[in-house]
Amino acid sequence: METATALAPFVVAGSILPTWTIVVIALLGTARPVANSTAFVLGNAAFRALLGIAVLFVIPLPDSESFRLDSGAWDARAVIVFGVGLLALAVWLWTRPPAPEGDSWVERAEQIRPRTAFVAGALMTASPGVQYAYLLGGLAAVLETTGGPVDRVVALGVFVLALQWMLATPIAIYLLFREGAERILKRMKSWLRVYGQRLIAGVLGVAGTYVFVIGAIQLLG
């Protein structure tokens, strides 16, 4: 129970991944919908699990509170720079001309194979981002609240699985309501071809604003 309580905030914050969830939804519209989307989620989980094993048994970590962006342990200027970077990327995506018809990322993804989706899931998880704060914070909580190696591995497995719930939800809905889901996905793909780039830009803009405000509060406070 102590481990679950300590992991809860990191699970909630670390599993809300709208950008990656959009990718899962797009993969459900490919020629291999279930295989591709599942492979992407497994790639995501595999990287987290491997990093978790390394952290739990090789790499020393500070306490879990240190990984909260508002903990004061982070350099406020670095937090602000990261926030500005996210905002700059959001602006670039928002102002970038849309891809020509037939060349959008949604259409290119339609012919993707499961192994490529698996690698993409792992690489997206490995790319620099705020997800590391939540993942490493959760791993630090595991170290603080568990004893032997077996307990740590079990806690890591539960943590990694819990982090995947938002990515797995579209797949579950697709499997349960396939016929209706395919109709919705067809309309959604048409919408994403036109507005997907700006949707991702909006998500990055909200995240960048949040990070920037936290850094500014720390710097001025």
Kindly state the DSSP code that residue 60 receives in the 8-state scheme: -
The upper half-sphere exposure of residue 1, i.e. CA atoms within 13 Å in the direction of its Cβ, equals 0
Domain spans, the chain: 2-74+100-205
Distances from the Cα of 57 to the Cα of 4, 50, 51, 52, 135, angstroms: 20, 11, 10, 8, 15
The upper half-sphere exposure of residue 112, i.e. CA atoms within 13 Å in the direction of its Cβ, equals 29
With bands split at pLDDT 50, 70 and 90, how would you rate the model's confidence at 185? confident
pLDDT in tens, 10-20: 787 777 777 78
Its pTM stands at 0.69
Q: Which tokens go with 103?
A: 């060349």
pLDDT in tens, 121-156: 998 888 766 677 778 788 888 888 887 888 888 888
With bands split at pLDDT 50, 70 and 90, how would you rate the model's confidence at 91? very high
